[in-house]
Structure 1
């Protein structure tokens, strides 16, 4: 028997398939780029992977001619784990193989999660189940749901040929989890033998002789295929959304330097700030406001100043992380409001640049971002020009899962 491995140390990559044309969805562009709740479907599909630190690489396969659409959909998301997109092929099978080859070219080895971009409601819990399913003894595992309808098999004339037992039938979802080497080998063998037409990677692994395990899927992890799927996802069949409001506050003392970062904008100043990261009080306050509305701790919980990797880090990464945590839970960001308190530097000349930077990091339209500035009338530490502060409020909506 193979030695047991520590699966938490196994590298994990995600391969998101976004090369389809989505004609059945009835739109003039591929469905993965359509806005759903103000955000592209693809962006929402990527959110849970980006919100999971264990996933070290995220590869996306896109269709030829979709380069500009893809760039718009992922604007502001790159935290170093998102690989350049790979151009796919005419079939899903070939597109997955090309994506795997791109990961192989980077030297990847470990567990790969293959996910359809048309499933934007993936949760962190299901993602955790997928990662845990691959062990030293299991090279393929897929999420499944029990079939509730009676299924009939037809003969060539359209008449009922068989009624399979319902208790042995399941429907299949993604992400499907695989040992990377085994999946790539199966794809290469199929390509070499001219075997095509596999509708998912589990079927290909079955053909290659690998047993495929299962784990529980989630009913909400629906695939957007037809126009009515989008209508249902926009509210008709989704959980009710409840409003959450979070607040954030941050302060930094001035120190030696020649600039400060505020709202994602570098502003020349006769002082710098004393901070572990870039010291952007506006983005720190906004990050805490989002995390507070999610009841997921604060910025120090996720990015502790004791961790040297965050020394000098750009704070837009913190805000992007918090925003993706909202989307990973099926939520929507309605509005971000921040007030900056300082005697100097002047905020007004940089207000619009800040709004644009915040909107890009949070993945929202600029109309959902407000920035205000005030002084403290020369009172307190800000009035004495010893530092600057920011207060923020985030309004969002989350699925009502607590009843």
Structure 2
């Protein structure tokens, strides 16, 4: 089961609360979490959604995201400009095209949106969005891209742990926990 942690915007002195809100998809889990905290937040409170599969998020990067977006009308997400050449494949895994990467970014988390916007986006999205930003885009809004870090990579494959470990070993702990 997935759990969501919340700090109440209406009760800043309250303790952290754990809400078990797992769903069949990421979007369902996030929507369940939003529904679980409805009484504790205001429509314009910021919500940050972060993948547990991204353990390399530093306090410095998190603070950068918040300070960049706190006065933004839409919200946004951490992301990295795509550096690699991208290929589109056909059904036989043959290259059918090279995709220009000039304006492509690789999405990361956290993704940060106002409570009401995020709830509306996930409720109204037709299908299953790959992330919260896609659902917000479907409302006609344009989330802001905030440059992330390679250390915030998503651990999906066993070799990702080795890459993350190597990155952490090259970076002093004091920089990670700032």
Please tell me the TM-score bracket, short chain as reference. 0.7 to 0.9
CA contact (8 A) 2:8 2:40 kept: no
Written as runs of structure 1 = structure 2, the 5 A alignment for 1:197-212 is: 197-212=128-143
Distance 2:162 2:23 in 1: 29
2:120 to 185, 205, 210: 185
1:209-236 superposed Cα distances (whole Å, 9 cap, x missing partner): 1111111101111111122222333x33
Distance 2:172 2:22 in 1: 39
Written as runs of structure 1 = structure 2, the 5 A alignment for 1:1-400 is: 19=2, 56-57=7-8, 80-109=14-43, 110-135=45-70, 137-190=72-125, 195-233=126-164, 235-240=165-170, 329=177
Distance 2:39 2:161 in 1: 36
Question: How many angstroms does 1:239 deviate by?
Answer: 3.0
User: What is the SS of the residue equivalent to 1:167?
Assistant: coil
Distance 2:119 2:111 in 1: 14
Normalization by structure 1: what TM-score? Answer: 0.39
Structure 1 unaligned segments of length 5 or more: list them. 1-17, 21-45, 47-54, 59-78, 244-293, 295-325, 331-403
Question: How many angstroms does 1:86 deviate by?
Answer: 2.2
Point out which structure has higher relative CO (alpha carbons under 8 A, 6+ apart): 2
- For the pair shown, the structure with the greater C-alpha radius of gyration is 1
Question: How many angstroms does 1:146 deviate by?
Answer: 1.6
Distance 1:118 1:105 in 2: 28
User: What is the SS of the residue equivalent to 1:85?
Assistant: strand
CA contact (8 A) 2:79 2:147 kept: yes
Question: How many angstroms does 1:137 deviate by?
Answer: 4.8
CA contact (8 A) 2:60 2:177 kept: no
Aligned length: 173
Structure 2 unaligned segments of length 5 or more: list them. none
Normalization by structure 2: what TM-score? Answer: 0.81
1:292-321 superposed Cα distances (whole Å, 9 cap, x missing partner): xx6xxxxxxxxxxxxxxxxxxxxxxxxxxx
1:341-377 superposed Cα distances (whole Å, 9 cap, x missing partner): xxxxxxxxxxxxxxxxxxxxxxxxxxxxxxxxxxxxx
